[in-house]
Amino acid sequence: MSTLRFQALKETLNRKPLKIEEPKRRSEIFGSNVFNEAVMRQFLTKEAYTNVIEAMKTGKKIDRNVADHISTGMKEWAISKGVTHYTHWFQPLTGATAEKHDSFFEPIGDGLAIEKFGGGQLVQQEPDASSFPNGGIRNTFEARGYTAWDPTSPAFIWGTTLCIPTVFVAYTGEALDNKTPLLRALQAIDQAATDVAKYFDKNVKKVNATLGWEQEYFLIDSALVASRPDISLTGRTLLGHSPAKGQQLDDHYFGSIPSRAIAYMMDLEIECMKLGIPVKTRHNEVAPNQFELAPIFEEANLAVDHNSLIMDVMKKVGERHNLSVLMHEKPFAGINGSGKHNNWSLATDTGVNLLSPGSTPMKNLQFLTFFVNTIKAVYDHEELLRAAIASASNDHRLGANEAPPAILSVFIGSQLTKVLDELEKVTDGKLSPQEKTDLKLNVVGKIPEILLDNTDRNRTSPFAFTGNKFEFRAVGSLANCAGAMTVLNSIVAKQLKDFKIEVDKLIKDKKMKKDDAIFNVLREYIKKSKKIRFEGDGYGEAWEKEAKKRGLSNNRTTPIALKAQVKKETIALYKELEVMNETEIQARHEIELEEYAMRIQIEGRILGDIARNHIIPTSIRYQNILIKNVKGLKDIYGEEYTRHAKEQLEILESISAHIAKINSNVNAMIEARKVANKIEDAEEKAIAYCDDVKPYFEEIRYHCDKLELLVDDELWPLAKYRELLFTR
């Protein structure tokens, strides 16, 4: 195996950056592979075009007869671009994307054939759903599932395939994907936010949730990854000693981008431009060989689709450059992991960002309304929000190396904290003219000035306000954004509904003016949600003790965190908003528990295999070399050989001790796995893997990593951290 390692290193060192031909203007190729409005005007009838636009903007159902015209235009456009196949592109509960390709080609007899793609094929397909996670929604023999076109997300071309974004549901109607609940949550936030926005502008007819994600990732040469079974099969290193130099010098962050990485980024960005993904930012991240890309904000549903798509595109473009893209939240121990910061806001159809302060007190009262309601929503549902980012892989990242902790809190900065402290003092009931004037001129009116220099520096906050948006930083880099966005939009929608009921009640029953009523309700929300606001460092026992005192949850592991998904309050919330029914909620809970157990099971098997088939044999081989050396010294020095072979003998003993520990821990881990595998209940099984199997990983790793320092470098079979992180 050491031969494979050195072959991989030699191959990596001989790589040259691919030459990428950049277009003169990226704007000229932007959306060239997307069935967007400009293309629809060209390839659709006026009726068909109007139908699609109305469906996109208002959710109006597309007439089945019109669907035939749309499919014909879509087919002609796709064929003109060299496309031969089409697929319904969907997001099952695996967290990845799925597709089944069908050809446009269809024989018509007498040796003749045509290209065919009808409205029925566009609007609905019936893929075999039996092999996708379903959480008990249907039996395996009831394989039928439906994919249905989502016209709010435009079709696109990838390679020679026309991809049609769709939802995926069981034949009984329950959602089997991530997109369906998200669309329902977005509808809920639209209705709730629009109702509240009308307090400030009667012309608002629609509110869109917006999302700007930031995708962090590592780039490692594919040959080096091939020499590491753990990275190849789990996406992370299960063992490996920290290098002498890591990220402590901060010399990688925002530094000059390595030549192979910049070639990869240029290639990736060109593909993104064609697919209409508005990527804007690229840079080195903190850890060696870690990078980030980020797009411009988009409507949340489209942004989620674009992130799911780009995760696939990143890997395929990486293959062209002989680079493996690692999106695991913690591929390397001891250095920064990778997140997917979700920057979230709300925008009206009149062009106003509801989380951005304005030029007048009224506009700032609107800002405060949505700002405070969001904080209150996070406070009331912090456990559910924590569950939304729970996974086996993200557990490694949360609370380590600048990542947010598992305790959910909101960071708003000292200046906005002062604003809320002032609002907390608002008189109970109607405000006097003097109070109203002071409040609007001295507090509310000055918010834009306050935010001007209020830059956010708290990298450890899971949920931070950053000027005109909230940044949900705890989302993991491997995650589908739909999970976090479904929860966030749902809880804020529920909060805004409750807020409107309370304000309207004060206006009707107490005869309060609108402003007075809003200030009174906001004051109570500020008081109630104060415990979730935290400005300090999210690490260490001090914050854990403080959080416990405040009554905040500290659900450190995924099996415990996921319990919030099936609480009666959660079920009631989703039912009220019509985001998910109880069957869909329970199914997702079971799927995520099963996935957790399977991931720990797979990692345990691979770790045991590497330890016994790679590390132990290599260590014994080195022992044999030392034994031969000791025997030679004994032949030369006789009884005095121990004086000359003291170090060799100590190394031999250390190696033997580590081998024994590895072997005993692997045996114990296997036995713990056997016990866990017999458990039928999904939650109990996940907890068993978490509490009884996973702890052996660190024990086994510790002794393997000690052997890495003892065994001859030329014999060591696995690419080391210094090679994985610093070979470019």
The Cα 299–Cα 183 span in angstroms is 11
With 0-12 / 13-18 / 19 or more C-beta atoms within 10 angstroms meaning exposed / middle / buried, residue 702 is: middle
Dump pLDDT digits (tens) for 180-229.
999 999 999 999 999 999 999 999 999 999 999 999 999 999 999 999 99
| Identity of residue 665 | N
Q: How does DSSP classify residue 247? A: S
Instruction: Tell which residue, 450, 86, 154, 202, has the closest CA to residue 299.
Output: 154
Closest CA to 354 of 342, 365, 343, 340: 365
Structure tokens of 650?
Answer: 């100590």
Closest to 295 measured CA to CA, from 250, 341, 332, 331: 341
Q: Using the predicted structure, report yes or no on whether residue 437 has a pLDDT greater than 80.
A: no
Tokens of 152: 């709010």
Q: Say whether 108 sits in a helix, a strand or coil.
A: strand
500-522 pLDDT tens trace: 999 999 999 999 999 999 999 99
Q: Tell me which residue of 210, 187, 209, 206 sits closest to 195, measured CA to CA.
A: 206
- Burial status of residue 681 (CB atoms within 10 A of its CB: 0-12, 13-18, 19 or more): exposed
pLDDT of 646 over the 60 cut: yes
Q: What does 203-237 look like in DSSP terms, one character per residue? A: T---EEEEEEE-EEEEEEEHHHHHT-HHHHHHSS-
pLDDT: is 107 or 249 the higher one?
Answer: 107
Pairing assessment for the beta strands 463-465 and 410-411 based on DSSP bridges: parallel
Mean pLDDT of 275-295: 93
Distances (CA, A) of 424 to 372, 418, 419, 421, 431: 11, 10, 9, 5, 13
* Max avg pLDDT among 37-41, 639-643, 674-678: 674-678
CB-based contact 562:690 (threshold 8 Å): no
pLDDT tops 70 at residue 358: yes
Read off the DSSP letter of residue 242.
P
Q: What pLDDT sits at residue 162? A: 96
Residue 24 has pLDDT above 70, yes or no: yes
Residues in the chain: 728
Provide the pLDDT for residue 246.
Answer: 66
- Residue 140 has a pLDDT of 40
Strand partners for 88 = 164
Cβ(463)–Cβ(385) below 8 Å:
yes
Supply the pLDDT for residue 135: 61
Residue 197's pLDDT is: 97
**Token couple for 307:** 């992130």
Spatial distance between the Cα atoms of 685 and 679, rounded to a whole number of angstroms: 5
pLDDT for 391: 95
pLDDT at 161: 96
Question: Is the pLDDT assigned to residue 2 strictly greater than 70?
Answer: no
Give me the half-sphere count of Cα atoms (radius 13 Å) on the Cβ side of residue 23: 14
What 76-81 contacts at long range (C-beta under 8 Å, 24+ apart), as own/partner pairs, is: 76/43, 77/35, 77/39, 77/42, 77/43, 78/35, 78/104, 78/157, 78/162, 79/104, 79/115, 81/33, 81/157
Q: How far apart are CA 263 and CA 373, in angstroms?
A: 44
pLDDT of 277 reads: 96
- Tell me the C-alpha distance between 667 and 676, whole Å: 14
What tokens does 660 get? 């024994």
Helix (H, G, I), strand (E, B) or coil at 437: helix
pLDDT above 80: residue 389 = yes
- The yes-or-no verdict on residue 575 having pLDDT over 90 is yes
Do 207 and 605 form a contact (C-beta atoms < 8 A)? no
Give the pLDDT band (50/70/90) at residue 698. very high
DSSP string, 387-430: HHT--HHHHHHTTSTTPPPSS--EE--HHHHHHHHHHHT--SSS
pLDDT in tens, 42-90: 999 999 899 888 888 777 788 778 888 899 999 999 999 999 999 999 9
**Mean pLDDT taken over the chain:** 90
Q: Among candidates 625, 617, 595, 454, which has minimal Cα distance to 535?
A: 454
Is residue 297 within 8 Å of 211, Cβ to Cβ? yes
* 86/65 Cα distance (integer angstroms): 20
Note the pLDDT tens digit of each residue in 96-151: 888 889 898 888 888 887 888 888 888 887 665 555 566 665 544 344 578 888 98
What percentage of the chain carries pLDDT values higher than 90? 69
Tokens of 441: 């001129």
- Taking Cα atoms as reference points, which of 226, 236, 246 lies closest to residue 326? 236
Residue carrying the six token digits 């870690």: 290
Structure tokens at 214: 């930031």
Q: Is the torsion defined by CA of 445, 446, 448, 454 positive or negative?
A: negative
What is the rounded distance in angstroms from the CA atom of residue 518 to the CA atom of residue 539?
A: 36
From residue 108, alpha-carbon distances to 74, 122, 365 in Å are 21, 20, 66
Exposed/middle/buried for 28, CB within 10 Å: 0-12, 13-18, 19+? Answer: exposed
The structure tokens listed for 51 are: 């139908």
Are the C-beta atoms of 316 and 300 separated by less than 8 Å? no
Checking DSSP bridges between strand 207-213 and strand 161-170, what pairing results, if any? unpaired
